[in-house]
Amino acid sequence: MSKEILYIIKVGGNIIDDEKKLSGFLKQFAGLKSHKKILVHGGGKLATKLAGQLNIPQQMIEGRRITDEETLKVVTMVYAGYINKNIVALLQANGCNAIGLSGADGNSILAHKRIHASIDYGYAGDIDAVNHIFLKNLLDQDIAIVMSPITHDKKGQLLNTNADTIAQEIARSMSESYEVNLIYSFEKTGVLLDANDDSTVIPSIKPAYYATLKAEKKIFAGMIPKIDNAFTALNSGVRRVTIGNAEELEKLISHTAGTSITNE
Amino acid sequence: MSKEILYIIKVGGNIIDDEKKLSGFLKQFAGLKSHKKILVHGGGKLATKLAGQLNIPQQMIEGRRITDEETLKVVTMVYAGYINKNIVALLQANGCNAIGLSGADGNSILAHKRIHASIDYGYAGDIDAVNHIFLKNLLDQDIAIVMSPITHDKKGQLLNTNADTIAQEIARSMSESYEVNLIYSFEKTGVLLDANDDSTVIPSIKPAYYATLKAEKKIFAGMIPKIDNAFTALNSGVRRVTIGNAEELEKLISHTAGTSITNE
């Protein structure tokens, strides 16, 4: 018997910051009727803005926010509160029963405080385990899951955690029970041959072609970690990874837009 | 066959504002092993403080916060985000599997924007329905529910909703399936004969005695609405209402502290 399909869709910050784009994306997400689905959202600029208003200085190292105690309060409020609950309310308005979670809820994502030889990332979490039984129970009730990028360590500490990594770890864990399609949706149309030309989307990437693209330096540097992560996911049981524009979610699902990455 | 007991416990703002008191309360809540339980929390002073830092003026009418658009953002962040997720993380640390919800999550509490002849309460919600099937499904998995005082109207609008009323409406709805014990826990030791003397707790109130107390003006005015609400709950199927100190939760459960209100 073939497994049921599960869509795990990460939506990026630039979409969340734009009320109209977010609303269009959520309409399409809600429209995936009778499909099991998990939405993982990032943070957007609202946390940075709120930290600014509260005079909490923000420090970024290699694109990652250093999460001190006050910043953790801000991201917990903004990600797990404001953004998460508004997304859930909008999905309910579109006829999609949804539930918003942090990793503490139902012990859904267990993490530990990042340990690093030279950089103190503060309350940043690296993932140890995904509670796939709890998540599957919700999906079995036809409830869409909306996951915020906040996890916990089961010792009472909340932790700020990268949303891309959360999507990947949930995808890996759920592959046991589902045929998982992992979709990274953001403001770009897919993996591009020319970073400045949205029409140069590569529709399909398989391992041999990826090796060629890299050897010929046809993929711009910023994309390489994303595609490497995609292959890591595929090698851990995920069926397909798609990268593309959140405003074209329906087309990403039907493989008529974006870049589809598979092993075969 | 007698119904299983369900504890629905409201914890008030003064406890939430005090880290040590909250921690003690949550330890006792987590200690109610093998019992089904729902915790309903209010807001505390943190929302008012954050609104102040963001220069959002707060207006109260008859003890109720007027919830304009900016204030709704603040209470969603603080109640459904910061307070709710920290309570869940602390319960997990105490070995109690818990899930934090707003009324939008799983469509657990449907409400409508309050309509009032003369006062515009803004985004304040009055409750229409509690999704007791969804809540029962979680309880059946031995997950404790932590409910924040934010609901939704299923049209995409979040609404600020009184936590006492949420506790009462959940209690009424769950009485169909459980023998519900509704506990209002706060900083006072119970219903007092002398408002300034914590040792004058009335241990038990039944309808006839309540009529006498009111006739003899032995209950101070602020308590009357709480007791009236308790009898409304009892008349709608709730088994017992207890009012008392959150720091004595175990004693409230064993009826050795607080005021116990019953119909028989």
Give the CA diameter of chain B.
56
CA distance A155 to chain B (A): 4
- Residue A256 makes CB contacts below 8 A (sequence gap 6+) with none
Least confident of A52-66, A116-130, A176-190, B32-46: A52-66
- Whole-complex ipTM: 0.95
Angle between helices A224-235 and A207-215 (to 10 degrees): 160
CA distance A97 to chain B (A): 6
The verdict on domain A5-261 having CATH code 3.40.1160.10 is: yes
Mean pLDDT value of segment A217-246? 90
**Cβ separation of A77 and B82 shorter than 8 Å?**
yes
DSSP B117: S
pLDDT bin (cut points 50, 70, 90) of residue B13 is confident
Q: What is the pLDDT of residue A1?
A: 62
| Nearest residue in chain A measured CA to CA from B83 | A77
pLDDT tens digits, A50-84: 999 999 998 888 777 799 999 999 999 999 999 99
Judged by a CB distance cut-off of 8 A, whether residue B222 touches chain A is: no
How many angstroms separate the CA atoms of B204 and B191, rounded?
9
pLDDT tens digits, B101-114: 999 999 999 999 99
| Distance from chain centroid for Cα A124 | 16
pLDDT tens digits, B65-94: 799 999 999 999 999 999 999 999 999 999
Identity of the residue in B79, B82, B97 whose CB atom sits nearest the CB atom of A106: B97
Q: What is the pLDDT of residue B1?
A: 62
Judged by a CB distance cut-off of 8 A, whether residue A152 touches chain B is: yes
Least confident of A36-45, A164-173, B69-78, B145-154: A36-45
CA distance B261 to chain A (A): 33
Judged by a CB distance cut-off of 8 A, whether residue A186 touches chain B is: no
Mean pLDDT value of segment A245-256? 96
The answer, yes or no, to whether residue A262 has pLDDT greater than 90, is yes
Q: What is the pLDDT of residue B32?
A: 96
Burial class (CB in 10 A: 0-12, 13-18, 19+), B177: middle
Q: Which residues of A116-153 are buried (b: 16+ CB within 10 A; e: fewer)?
A: eeeeebbbbbbbeebbbebbbbbbeeebbbbbbbbbbb
pLDDT tens digits, A150-174: 999 999 999 999 999 999 999 999 9
Contacts of B19 in chain A (CB under 8 A): none
Which of B76, B131, B139 to substitute to test the interface with A, most A CBs within 10 Å? Answer: B76
Mean pLDDT value of segment A255-263? 96
Judged by a CB distance cut-off of 8 A, whether residue B150 touches chain A is: yes
Fold that domain B5-187 belongs to in CATH: Carbamate kinase (3.40.1160)
Judged by a CB distance cut-off of 8 A, whether residue A257 touches chain B is: no
Work out the mean pLDDT of chain B and round it to a whole number. 94
What are the extents of the domains in chain A? 5-261
pTM for the full predicted model: 0.96
